[in-house]
Structure 1
């Protein structure tokens, strides 16, 4: 007999689904798949790039991503690891991610924050900020 409650199982299922979205971000960037990347966002999402560019809405995110992603990963890779998930509500989560960008010039560590919302049973990127880590 399991002592795990239905709520605990649902929470673990949501965390697994959130991890899959983060893995899809990694996959789409490493394989330079802008449509896959953009498809992870809500239509009204907000994205602030690592360089500080503010993008409002999926159309703006798409236009930017289609300019920079094809060819942008040449000779490099990026990994994303979910470090912490804070459920603000059952359908809204703040997800802290450790990002490591590796190229022939070395590595750069980032610490994106992905606020995600569950829309029609799927977790979507909603408000995201990518930030570099200076001391690591």
Structure 2
């Protein structure tokens, strides 16, 4: 790495900010802000196994399910691992927790995997898979 390249720590913080924006846009019921985090050609598989291709399809789905979804609950996201495939591509493992309004756990956790790419200085969601963690 040369002196002009950002450090891994800086890149991880930038990635964490994208994950925080996912949490915030969902918490506030903002589907356009959520969809803007994806590349135009991104793919996303929901925790129910539905495949969405492209930002437009992701936005349409999100407009159907997000507004009002977090009135009595919230979802938290915690980055638990970042694997840099290249300096501008990272696989990001996230712990997703569903909570009641007063912070009590609801159901099973989620374990999303986000492949992110850095383009024009901005990390974007590229290929994402949400997975429910089933109780053993």
TM-score of the pair, normalised by structure 1:
0.90
SS at match of 2:18: helix
Name the counterpart of 2:83. Answer: 86
SS at match of 2:49: coil
* TM-superposed deviation, 1:6: 4.7
Name the counterpart of 2:96. Answer: 99
| Alignment size in residue pairs | 132
TM-score of the pair, normalised by structure 2:
0.90
Name the counterpart of 1:130. Answer: 130
Name the counterpart of 1:112. Answer: 112
Residues of 2 paired with 1:106 and 1:35: CA distance? 26
CA contact (8 A) 2:98 2:108 kept: yes
SS at match of 1:108: coil
String of CA shifts for 1:76-104, please: whole Å, max 9, x gaps: 10000000000000000000000001237
Residues of 1 paired with 2:73 and 2:117: CA distance? 30
**Counterpart pick for 1:45 among 42, 45, 48:** 42
Which consecutive residues of structure 1, in runs of 5 or more, have no partner in the other structure? Answer: none
Residues of 1 paired with 2:4 and 2:121: CA distance? 16
Structure 1 outlier segments of 4+, above 3 Å: 5-9
Cα RMSD, aligned residues only: 1.9
